[in-house]
Structure 1
Amino acid sequence: MPENDITPAIQFQGVGKRFGDNVVLDGLDFSVAKGDRVTLIGPSGSGKTTILRLLMTLEEANDGLIYVDGDCYTHEMRDGKRVAIPEKRRSLVRRRVGMVFQQFNLFPNMTVLENIIEAPIHVLGKPKAEAIASAEALLDKVGLADKRDARTMQLSGGQQQRVAIARALAMEPEILLLDEVTSALDPELVADVLGVLRNIAETTDITMLIVTHEMQFAREVSNRVLMFDGGKIIEEADPDTIFTSPKHERTQEFLRAIL
Structure 2
Amino acid sequence: MDHQPHTGAISLEDGIVPAIRFDKVEKRFGDNVVLDHLDFTVRKGDRVTLIGPSGSGKTTILRLVMTLEEANAGYILIDGQPLTHTERDGRRVELKEKHKNEMRKRIGMVFQQFNLFPNMTVLENIIEAPVHVLGQPKAKAIARAHELLEMVGLPDKADAHPTQLSGGQQQRVAIARALAMEPEILLLDEVTSALDPEVVGEVLNILRDVARDTDVTMLIVTHEMQFARDVSNRVLMFDGGRIVEEGSPDQIFSAPQEQRTKDFLAAVL
TM range (shorter): over 0.9
- For residue 86 of structure 1, report the CA deviation from its aligned partner: 1.0
- For residue 24 of structure 1, report the CA deviation from its aligned partner: 0.1
Q: How does 1:191-206 map to 2 (within 5 A)?
A: 191-206=201-216
Which of 86, 91, 108 matches 1:81? 91
**Judging changes above 3 Å, is the alpha-carbon distance between structure 1 residues 5 and 163 closer, same or farther for their aligned structure 2 residues?**
farther
Residue identity opposite 2:239 in structure 1: D
Which of 54, 64, 71 matches 2:74? 64
Sequence identity percentage? 73
Which of 43, 47, 50 matches 2:60? 50
2:133 corresponds in structure 1 to 123
Which of 115, 137, 156 matches 2:147? 137
CA distance in 2, matches of 1:194, 1:6: 30
Residue identity opposite 1:75 in structure 2: H
1:18 corresponds in structure 2 to 28
Q: Deviations over 1:76-114 (max 9, x none)?
A: 000000000111111111110100000000011111001
Q: How does 1:97-116 map to 2 (within 5 A)?
A: 97-116=107-126
CA distance in 2, matches of 1:131, 1:97: 18
Q: Deviations over 1:24-70 (max 9, x none)?
A: 00000000000000000000000000000001111000000000000
Question: Alpha carbon RMSD of aligned pairs, Å?
Answer: 0.8
Q: Which structure 2 segments of 5+ residues have no match?
A: 1-13
Runs of 4+ in 1 over 4 A off after TM superposition: none
2:222 corresponds in structure 1 to 212
Residue identity opposite 2:105 in structure 1: R
- For residue 5 of structure 1, report the CA deviation from its aligned partner: 6.6
- When the two structures are aligned, how many residues end up with a matched partner? 256
Provide TM-score, normalisation by structure 1. 0.98
CA distance in 1, matches of 2:206, 2:21: 27
1:158 corresponds in structure 2 to 168
CA distance in 2, matches of 1:69, 1:94: 12
SS of match in other structure, 2:40: strand
CA distance in 2, matches of 1:87, 1:113: 29
Q: Which structure 1 segments of 5+ residues have no match?
A: none
